[in-house]
Amino acid sequence: MKRIRGLSIRARITIQTLLVALLFCSFAVLIFRANVASVVSSTAGQLLANDAATFEAVIRDAPESPQLTIGEGQFVAIVDPSGTVRRTTLPARLRGSMPALLALSARPTEVAAGGHTYLVRLEHVPTDAGQWAIVSARDQEQGKLLLQRLTTALIVGDLVLVFGFGAAAWLLTAAALRPVTTMRRDAERLSAGGSLEALPVGDARDELAALATTLNAFIEGNRATIEREKQMVSDASHELRTPLAILSAQLELAAAHERDPAKMRAELAAARKTASRLSALASSILELARAETEQPVAPSSWTELSYELGLSIDRARELAQPARILVDFAVLPSSETGTYRMSTSGFASVVDNLVANAIHACPEGASVYVELADEGSGLRMTVLDDGPGVPEEYIAFAFDRFSRPDDSRSRAAGGSGLGLAIVHALVTAAGGSVTMENVHPGLRVQVDLPRN
């Protein structure tokens, strides 16, 4: 079995076709031979009956002195009521078995004698003078020879058909697999050149076209993944370059003021803040990478997400306390018992990023309001603040990586530009959507999650 699995598809299909053809043809040969043997046997029995019928008529017409003439080639023995054999052309090897033959019935029976096999039939003819017996026989050797020749011819024909089927299967499989070979060569050529081009689909709408379409979708997914990775590396290197340069400069200044402890401590404190920002940026990049990788997550219920929202609001209030920003929330009543394709940690990340963005954008004394509601087909969370909003042209790319509503703002004071990208990746992976719009005053961000 392992050897067969190691063969090519073409060879396996050919071998399987040969086996099926051999089984089918052998079965057909056996059935045909059995039918021919049955016909031969039935014909021989009918000939025996016909042989006896001729003499039966003669005996019935003149039972005292019948004119018995046995034709050439007929094996017949006629016995009168007294047990005397009146006429016989039976072979000598059968004549010695006459008592046994007279004990047979009208049903043809095979009798072996002298190395030959005969089909023998006994017919009784009752008359007024007594009961006559007619023994008719046929040599079976000729019939057996016919069956042997027929069997040989059938076996030869069987083998010819089987090998014909095998050759046809070999050629047809080669023709059927030719497009697969072409597709494989195209894939090897594209792979050798490092290309991510799509495979040619062709005009046919068959299984191979479906396979090419599926592979092209796979290639397209890989291309998108590679492009995302390239863009992530490019953006990350760009974003990390500035804080790393700042950190290097701050450390150099600290080293330059080694004789002035106060200035050195100030530079080290600034370097510590820059390192903290670098750490937060790296954490955000890793979180975004995990969010953009489609992995199965444990679904969460309405109750679990509501509880997680409360914990996120508690964290947000601590963040908003220095600026005296009011953070409040409401969970509207719901009898929802379904689940959502988002983990509680993912939902917490969504809430934390949206509320943190709102707090950073709000002036001192402003407010942020979060509402969780059941919209029938799913969950809807709304984050509303009374800050200054964002430029309308920014909304179109607000969820892109490293995007900020005000590029002129100092990057040290601003965020990493990854928070909304993380939100978008998590919500999209859960099958939901996130939208943003300016209201007066402030900004509203709406997250919709469908139920499983």
CATH number (3.30.450, 3.40.50, 1.25.40, 1.10.1760) of 7-147 reads 3.30.450
Q: Which residues pair with 32 in a beta bridge?
A: none
Cα–Cα distance measured from residue 84 to residue 66, given in angstroms and rounded to the nearest whole number: 14
Give the chain's radius of gyration (CA, Å): 50
Cα–Cα distance measured from residue 217 to residue 421, given in angstroms and rounded to the nearest whole number: 24
* Mean pLDDT within 217-228: 72
Cα–Cα distance measured from residue 367 to residue 323, given in angstroms and rounded to the nearest whole number: 10
Query: Residue 221 has what pLDDT?
Result: 72
Domain 295-450 is found in CATH 3.40.50.300: no
pLDDT in tens, 283-309: 666 666 666 665 667 889 999 999 999
- Give the pairing of strands 433-438 and 130-139: unpaired
3-state per-residue secondary structure call for 310-327: HHHHHHHHHHHHHHCCEE
How confident is residue 280, by pLDDT bands cut at 50, 70 and 90?
Answer: low
Residue ranges per structural domain of the chain: 7-147, 192-227, 295-450
pLDDT in tens, 374-432: 888 899 999 999 998 899 998 888 888 777 775 433 333 445 677 888 899 889 989 99
To which residue do tokens 């599926």 refer? 214
pLDDT in tens, 13-65: 888 888 888 888 889 888 988 888 888 888 888 888 888 888 888 888 887 77
* Phi-psi domain of 202 (left: phi exceeds 0; alpha: psi -120 through 50; beta: other): left
Is there a contact between 243 and 277 (Cβ–Cβ < 8 Å)? Answer: yes
The CA–CA distances, whole Å, from 223 to 43, 186, 206, 216, 401 equal: 78, 17, 25, 10, 18
Among 159-163, 221-225, 238-242, the range scoring the smallest mean pLDDT is 238-242
Percent of the chain whose predicted confidence (pLDDT) is above 70: 84
To which residue do tokens 């079995």 refer? 1
pLDDT in tens, 245-260: 767 877 787 788 777 7
Does residue 448 surpass a pLDDT of 50? Answer: yes
How many CB atoms lie under 10 A from the CB of residue 86? Answer: 14
3 state SS of 87: strand
Could you tell me which residues come within 8 angstroms of residue 66 by beta carbon, excluding any fewer than 6 positions away?
Answer: 55, 58, 59, 86
Query: Residue 338 has what pLDDT?
Result: 82
Strand locations in 128-256 (E) = 130-139
Task: Say if pTM beats, i.e. exceeds, 0.85.
Answer: no
Does residue 371 surpass a pLDDT of 70? Answer: yes
Does residue 278 surpass a pLDDT of 70? Answer: no
